[in-house]
Chain A
Amino acid sequence: MEVSTACRERTLTLTLHGELDHHGAKGLMDKVDREIEAALPLQLVMDMKNVSFMDSSGIAVVMRGRQRMRELGGTLALVHVPTQPKKVFDASGISRIVTIE
């Protein structure tokens, strides 16, 4: 899974591209860890507009990001979440604990 990174005023934006499944989740988690470590942001934004598919592997990635941000005293927001991933987030209950815009 491709990730593009932008960081401005301690907001780290990771834009995800393609399909987010178990096959790509490990690499994505490592990438998220590395980017957070490099930027030490106060807010992490995951932009999902280019995610064409996501299963429960995406939930583990988001929970990992949330955990890292909590350790830094920061927050996590998901933006531009397409219908199919949104449904997975809703079914898992994660929508109640993570900001989805």
Chain B
Amino acid sequence: MRRTENYVKIEFLSRSSNEGFARVAASGFAAQLDPTLDELGDIRTSVSEAVTNAIVHAYPDQLGRILLKMRVAEGNILELTVRDWGRGIENVEQARQPLYTTGGAERSGMGFTIMESFMDRVHVKSVPGKGTTVVMRKRIATRAKTGR
């Protein structure tokens, strides 16, 4: 594991209004790596997908807690962990397939596909009845400072 240079942990309730909050928090934390607008968009989108999954699927009938851990690791790596203690996923491989959803007509089944496309690595660990942990990593390109 790469050396940790900074991290924050935020815990919140699985209310859908917290999706926007999680994106703002991730943008704020990622700012220290000086990401491009494009990279920042990728980060906000991936966090939104992972947190929405927890809200919709981990706690379908009740409110539960969601932990968002954000870490900067050596080498300009941003690591985002979204953890819940909800229902869990029976078949992670199936859940990661494009268009697969148990969320009905309101969901597109593209959440994991987008996370995988926008982040360098996405790792999913889930135990039915115990919860799910999604760890996403992205290297933020270092840019020459303009001196302004």
Residue from the set B56, B110, B111 with the largest chain A CB neighbour count within 10 Å: B110
Number of A residues contacting the other chain (C-beta, 8 Å)? 22
CB neighbours of B113 from chain A (8 A): 91-92
Q: Which residues of A contact B76 (CB under 8 A)?
A: none
Q: Which of B17, B44, B105, B118 contacts A64 (CB 8 A)?
A: B105
A59 to B45, CA, bound (A): 13
Within 8 A of B (CB), among A49-101: 53, 55-57, 59-60, 63-64, 83-84, 87-88, 91-93
B38 within 8 Å of A (CB atoms): yes
B126 within 8 A of A: no
Report whether A25 and B45 are in contact in the complex, using a CB–CB cutoff of 8 Å.
Answer: no
CA–CA, A22 and B47, complex, Å: 12
- Chain B count of residues within 8 A CB distance of the other chain: 27
Query: Which residue of B17, B23, B48, B98 has the most chain A CB atoms within 10 A of its CB atom?
Result: B48
- Closest 3 interchain pairs by CB? A59-B108, A84-B41, A23-B16
Query: Using a CB–CB distance below 8 Å, which chain A residues touch chain B?
Result: 19, 21-23, 25-26, 29, 53, 55-57, 59-60, 63-64, 83-84, 87-88, 91-93
